[in-house]
Amino acid sequence: MHDLPALWLPILATAVLVFVASSLVHMVFKWHNSDYRKLANEDDVAAALRAGSHSPGQYVLPHCTDMKQMQDDSMKQKYEQGPVGIITLLKPGMPNMGKHLIQWFVLCLLLSTAFAAIAVQTFGLAANPHEAGHLIGLVSFLAFFSGSVMSAIWMGKPWAIVAKDLLDSLIYSTVCALTFMWLWPSVA
């Protein structure tokens, strides 16, 4: 791990370039705009949620505290009648995009550091840049894509949206791989 500081430039450049790529995906190409659908009775649903005075957090509908409850006829009926879902409630107010963007950049920086650590632990600092880049491309693809798949499996995220996330992940991992190949230090 003592070689990791020598990779500060590709780590930082990767974080910046992935951040830029994600900005292009969301602000220029906007292929995720259709991922978020409007409820036909949005005002009624919002009023019902406000009436419950729920704090920010994640909620499930219908709610069971124990898997044994799922055998209960009344719980089975709730599931059959629907709706069945997971709801995330945020703090009321306008979204703080600055905070979200900073958190995203910090995540990109942490991931880039982890990718560099994996590559330098595997190959050493004298690695062939293409070999290091290929490993980083694979590891970064898994890092960027696996969360979306887990959300589809466990939380019902639509697979069509996961397919778009796959494209995002391919873009981000390609950026990671190429940046590390380009800026991997030459050790003489």
Give the pLDDT mean for 109-131. Answer: 97
Give CA–CA dist 163/13, Å, rounded.
Answer: 27
Query: pLDDT tens digits for 2-18?
Result: 899 999 999 999 999 99
Domain coordinates in residue numbering, the chain: 4-51+94-183, 57-90
Separation between Cα atoms, residue 68 and residue 77, nearest integer Å: 15
Alpha carbon distance 164, 78 (integer Å): 32
Say whether pLDDT at 1 is over 80: no
pLDDT tens, residue by residue, 32-61:
999 999 999 999 999 999 999 899 999 999
Over residues 134-187, the pLDDT tens digits come to 999 999 999 999 999 999 999 999 999 999 999 999 999 999 999 999 999 987
| Residue in 83, 92, 99, 110 with CA at minimum distance from that of residue 176 | 110
Mean of the pLDDT values across residues 98-112?
98
Looking at this protein, which amino acid is placed at residue 40? A
- Between CA 44 and CA 36 the distance in angstroms is 18
Residue 77 predicted with pLDDT over 90: yes
What is residue 186's predicted lDDT score, i.e. its pLDDT? 87
- Token digits for 15? 């974080």
